[in-house]
Structure 1
Amino acid sequence: MYFHLQQLINEIEPDEPDPAAANALQEGLGGQFGEMRTMMQYLFQSINFRGPAGKPYRDLIQGIGTEEISHVELIGTTISRLLDGSPAYQGKKDAPVDAPGAGGAVPLEIALDHSNIHHYLVGAQGALPVDAAGNPWMGSYVYNSGNLVLDLLYNLMLESTGRLQKCRLYEMTANKTARSTISYLIVRDQAHENAYAKALETLGVNWRTSLPIPKTNAESFPEVKRLLDLGLQSKQYSFDLDDRSEAGRIFQGMSPSGDGTHLVADEQAPEGVPSTIAPERPEEFSPGADADLQALIEATAEMEMADIDATFGRMSTS
């Protein structure tokens, strides 16, 4: 079973909307080496895992796959915030839908000549399950051979390529919103590289001679360096409520990155940051609820929460 904590795994720094950066980030979400790919690949590998004696490897893959769900949430939310109104129009709640935006701009005029028009036509200024060219995400990206060594080698390659692409994404934009998420994912990709590299080492695979990790010098990016100094590249979380994960039997010892750090897998999950629901977008008719309908939505939500509390008790993060 999977549980959802209504927090983001990392803070998204506020900045001006940037639809071009949003479209570039789509590659990190729905591209061949994006977060949707890693999420689905690792979850399918853990679901289909065979061999009880290999439980630590299953737990490692499953824990990383579970973290990738939060990465999909993080990068999707970041894209949505980058699209949350053009720089000329912020979608004020009291502004009529057909009125010109601030500075004389038509509310959705920006969609005609800025990046992916589908962000505005079909996504209501939100993330889409596509790559930066607008191609839909495909299940055929998922690699699950059933052979542990092959899967781990492929996963290491996937994380290495994903980190390389995110370093390119970082170089494409100076937007703080985009860079805050990109930097976090660069460092966590390195942590997952460490995990799969260490797993291969325990199986006697000399991966360094056949699969060198690309040198990106990402530590030159100030946002990345701050996270590296915190040792985030050498942590792995279990995301296991029962504390039955045996991934720590693998994720230990000196880091394969050669940065002098030790691998640590003693945390269930990162602390997280508050998650908020985006405001209405009147120019997109989203959510398109009048006052009466909005009252019904809020009343229904309150009843559902009361029913959950009565059945399961109030959720606690402590």
Structure 2
Amino acid sequence: MFLHVQRLLNEIVPDEPDPAAANALQEGLGGQFGEMRTMMQYLFQSFNFRGPDGKPFRDLLYGVGTEEIGHVELIATTIARLTDGSPRYQGSATDDMDTPGAGGATPLSAALTEGNIHHYLVGAQGALPVDAQGDPWTGKYVYDSGNLPLNLLYNLMLESTGRLQKCRLYEMTANKTARSTIAYLIVRDQAHENAYAKALEALGVNWNTLLPIPKTNAEKFPEVATLLEQGLQSKQYTFSLDQLSEAGKLYRGPSPSNDGTTLSTAQAPDGVPMDIAVERPEEFGPGLDPELLAMVQAVAEMEADEPAGQWGRVG
């Protein structure tokens, strides 16, 4: 089973809203090489895994796949931050919904000229399960041949392509909110490249003669360089609450990236605090009138009295 800790994998740096950057990031979420695809692909390969002797490989897939759930959460939250509000709109939440702001600006005018209008019409300033063209994500992206070497080789190609694409996304925007998340995903993609490269080496596959990992020189990006200095590219999380994961049998030794680091595993990252976005009256969201708000508060009081549960509180 899966448990959820209410913390984000990485800090999302605040900046001005940027609907165009949000739409570009949709490719990294719901595109062919995006986070929804990696999440579903690795988890389905885990669910369908055969052969008890291959448990370290299955556990590695489970760890990476579980982390990808957090990546979906992180990039979706980033897209919501980038569409949240209107750039430089000076209206007030206490005004009538149709009262123009400074210079006659309307609250949702950015939707008509920037990014994906569906972020506002359909998503109420939130992420959507689509690519940058607005095409819905599809399960047809998911690859699971049932053959371990083929799956691992395909996964290595997927991570390499995903990292290459995120480097392009980084170069498309100077927005700090977007870049903070893109840089983190670039480094974690490298960690996952290392994971699948190590797993292939354990099977005797000379992957580096078949598939050279693309050289993106991503370390020139300041945000990426900071994360690389922390060794984040050489650590893989198991997300194994019961500590039964055997992924550490594979993810160890010198890094396949040849950067002088040594691979290691950990249960989970510390993460950063997660908050809930403010209400957006112009989107009628969440639309809590006084009666509904009273009901929400009553539920919150009941939940505060609930026992901690089998696993207790984390952190």
* TM-score, scaled relative to structure 2: 0.97
CA contact (8 A) 1:85 1:91 kept: no
2:58 corresponding residue in structure 1: 58
CA contact (8 A) 1:84 1:90 kept: no
2:313 corresponding residue in structure 1: 315
In 2 relative to 1, CA 91–78 (structure 1 residues): closer, same or farther, beyond 3 Å?
farther
Q: How does 1:194-209 map to 2 (within 5 A)?
A: 194-209=194-209
1:232 corresponding residue in structure 2: 232
How many residue pairs end up in the alignment?
A: 315
Query: What percent identity do the matched residue pairs reach?
Result: 73
> What is the CA–CA distance in structure 2 between the aligned matches of 1:92 and 1:36, rounded to whole Å?
36
> What is the CA–CA distance in structure 1 between the aligned matches of 2:147 and 2:192, rounded to whole Å?
19
CA contact (8 A) 1:184 1:227 kept: yes
Q: How does 1:1-318 map to 2 (within 5 A)?
A: 1-89=1-89, 92-265=92-265, 267-307=266-306, 309=307, 311-312=309-310, 314-317=312-315
> What is the CA–CA distance in structure 1 between the aligned matches of 2:231 and 2:309, rounded to whole Å?
40
3-state SS of 1:264 partner: strand
In 2 relative to 1, CA 143–100 (structure 1 residues): closer, same or farther, beyond 3 Å?
same
> What is the CA–CA distance in structure 2 between the aligned matches of 1:2 and 1:81, rounded to whole Å?
26
> What is the CA–CA distance in structure 2 between the aligned matches of 1:147 and 1:56, rounded to whole Å?
15
Q: Match of 2:209, as an amino acid? A: T
> What is the CA–CA distance in structure 2 between the aligned matches of 1:313 and 1:229, rounded to whole Å?
34
User: CA shift at 1:89, angstroms?
Assistant: 2.4
> What is the CA–CA distance in structure 2 between the aligned matches of 1:45 and 1:91, rounded to whole Å?
49
User: CA shift at 1:175, angstroms?
Assistant: 0.3
CA contact (8 A) 2:255 2:261 kept: yes
User: CA shift at 1:96, angstroms?
Assistant: 2.2
> What is the CA–CA distance in structure 2 between the aligned matches of 1:205 and 1:254, rounded to whole Å?
17
User: CA shift at 1:91, angstroms?
Assistant: 6.5
CA contact (8 A) 1:166 1:186 kept: yes
> What is the CA–CA distance in structure 2 between the aligned matches of 1:211 and 1:264, rounded to whole Å?
23
> What is the CA–CA distance in structure 1 between the aligned matches of 2:277 and 2:102, rounded to whole Å?
20
> What is the CA–CA distance in structure 2 between the aligned matches of 1:261 and 1:6, rounded to whole Å?
31
> What is the CA–CA distance in structure 2 between the aligned matches of 1:225 and 1:261, rounded to whole Å?
14
> What is the CA–CA distance in structure 1 between the aligned matches of 2:21 and 2:252, rounded to whole Å?
37
In 2 relative to 1, CA 57–294 (structure 1 residues): closer, same or farther, beyond 3 Å?
same
Q: Match of 1:101, as an amino acid? A: G
Q: Match of 2:294, as an amino acid? A: A
> What is the CA–CA distance in structure 1 between the aligned matches of 2:31 and 2:76, rounded to whole Å?
13
CA contact (8 A) 1:234 1:264 kept: yes
CA contact (8 A) 2:91 2:99 kept: no
> What is the CA–CA distance in structure 2 between the aligned matches of 1:313 and 1:74, rounded to whole Å?
24
User: CA shift at 1:312, angstroms?
Assistant: 4.4
Q: Match of 1:296, as an amino acid? A: M
User: CA shift at 1:299, angstroms?
Assistant: 1.2
> What is the CA–CA distance in structure 2 between the aligned matches of 1:91 and 1:23, rounded to whole Å?
24
3-state SS of 2:305 partner: helix
Q: Match of 2:300, as an amino acid? A: A
CA contact (8 A) 1:88 1:105 kept: no
Q: Match of 1:224, as an amino acid? A: V
In 2 relative to 1, CA 108–258 (structure 1 residues): closer, same or farther, beyond 3 Å?
same
User: CA shift at 1:298, angstroms?
Assistant: 2.0
Comparing 182-191 and 94-103, the one that deviates more: 94-103
CA contact (8 A) 1:30 1:36 kept: yes
CA contact (8 A) 1:88 1:103 kept: no
* TM-score, scaled relative to structure 1: 0.96
User: CA shift at 1:300, angstroms?
Assistant: 1.6
> What is the CA–CA distance in structure 2 between the aligned matches of 1:305 and 1:66, rounded to whole Å?
28
CA contact (8 A) 1:48 1:146 kept: yes
Residue deviations 1:138-163 (CA, integer Å, cap 9, x gap): 00100011100000001000000000
Q: Match of 1:316, as an amino acid? A: V
> What is the CA–CA distance in structure 2 between the aligned matches of 1:155 and 1:58, rounded to whole Å?
13
Residue deviations 1:42-74 (CA, integer Å, cap 9, x gap): 000001100000000000000000000000000
Comparing 283-292 and 19-28, the one that deviates more: 283-292
CA contact (8 A) 1:21 1:178 kept: yes
Q: Match of 1:54, as an amino acid? A: G
